Amino acid sequence: MPTPPPNPHLPFGDQRTAPWYGKDILSVKQFSREDLEYIFAVAHEMHDMVNHVGTFDLLKGKILANLFYEPSTRTSSSFTAAMERLGGSVIPINEVKYSSVSKGESLPDTVR
């Protein structure tokens, strides 16, 4: 698969070399402390960009599925707002009882 050109709007450079690029993120346990520090540094730069420029299409065409095991209005709303500010869209799954997890399927299988 050909590599798309770098996005010129990103001051932190091309992140396609990160070990988690193109991977599903199911748990914070997937990351080392160094990974998390790096992610938060990039997030800070992106926050500054959104505040300066407004919304942009970094995640255009990408979809985030929000699945929470317990009610979480602030976190769910924050995830949705962040995704939409970056040009993506969100599929909210507000109740686990409507997901395959409630039928005993593992979380990784549910999100595939």
Residue 56's pLDDT is 76
pLDDT for 33 equals 92
Question: Measured in whole angstroms, how far is the alpha carbon of residue 7 from the centre of its chain?
Answer: 17
Name the CATH superfamily housing domain 57-112. Aspartate/ornithine carbamoyltransferase (3.40.50.1370)
pTM: 0.58
Which residue's entry shows tokens 């991977």?
23
pLDDT for the residue 26: 79
Q: Token pair of 16, please?
A: 């396609």
| Tokens representing residue 57 in the block | 């299409």
Amino acid at 69: Y
Splitting the chain (112 residues) into consecutive groups of 10 residues, what average pLDDT does each group show? 52 63 81 87 82 81 82 85 89 72 73 67
- The predicted structure's pLDDT at residue 1: 41
* DSSP output for the chain: -PPPPPPTT-TT---TTSTTTT-----GGGS-HHHHHHHHHHHHHHHHHHHHH----TTTT-EEEEE-SS--HHHHHHHHHHHHHTT-EEEEE--GGGSGGGGT--HHHHH-
How far is Cα of residue 42 from the mean position of the Cα atoms in its chain? 13
pLDDT of residue 90: 92
